[in-house]
Structure 1
Amino acid sequence: MKERLDFIIDLLDSKKAENITLIDLKDSGYITQYVIIATSMADKHSFALLDYLKSELKPKGEVFYCTDEESGDWIIADLGDIMVHIFTENHRKKFNLEEFLSNYKKNMTTKN
């Protein structure tokens, strides 16, 4: 798993995604085990990052179960146990997914 996560992060980094964050949600009851969040420079950059992920990961057997790419401001790629979120900077600040997931994990681990 670590190799898969590192590979995805390296792909994003190699195409100039910024502020790449990995959140481990194993054993929290969340819909996926890991979330990778990255910031793009603009909506066109978001689409380019998603296309690059698809072109590099699909030949390696990675399955894209679902993608939400209606807006370049926030793109989601569901790889099953890994969810990749690509935001433009303003949308990343607006939705603050890191804080939400951090609070979710903290609340779920204190309940268990």
Structure 2
Amino acid sequence: MSNRLEKIEQILNEKKAENIEVIDLTSKDYIVDYVVIATTLNPKHAFALLNYLKTDLKPLGEEFLRIDDDDEWTIIDLGDVFIHLISEKYREKYSIEEFLSELENRVQ
């Protein structure tokens, strides 16, 4: 699992996503084991990040079960991992980290 998360984090980092966080929820009662959150620069950046993730992860056997996206927020469901690509405005407004902080053990 750590290799998968490292690869996701690497792609997001290389493609200029900001404030990337990986939250470990394996020991908590949540619908996925890990949540990755990254801030996007604008809607086109979010779209490009999604495409980079697909291009780089699908050949490694990663299955994209569902993708929900709009201009401010993209959620990628990999089964046991959710990736949130979110605008700075929405990240501040919805503060996912705060919601998950009651459940989390941060990955270092």
Q: TM-score range by the shorter chain?
A: over 0.9
Q: Identity rate of aligned residues, in percent?
A: 50
Matches within 5 A, 1:1-112: 1-69=1-69, 71-103=70-102, 105=103
Q: Unpaired runs of 5+ in structure 2?
A: none
Q: What TM-score do you get using the length of structure 2 for normalisation? A: 0.93
Distance in 2 (CA, whole Å) between partners of 1:102 and 1:52 is 28
- Output the aligned Cα RMSD: 0.9
Q: Unpaired runs of 5+ in structure 1?
A: 107-112
Number of residue equivalences: 104
Q: Say which SS state the counterpart of residue 44 (structure 1) adopts.
A: helix
User: Which protein has the larger Cα radius of gyration, Structure 1 or Structure 2?
Assistant: 1
Moved beyond 2 Å, runs of 4+: none
Deviations 1:56-108 (A, max 9, x none): 10111000010001x121000000111100001001000000000112x16xx
More helix by share: 1
Deviations 1:37-62 (A, max 9, x none): 00010011011100110011011100
Q: What TM-score do you get using the length of structure 1 for normalisation? A: 0.90
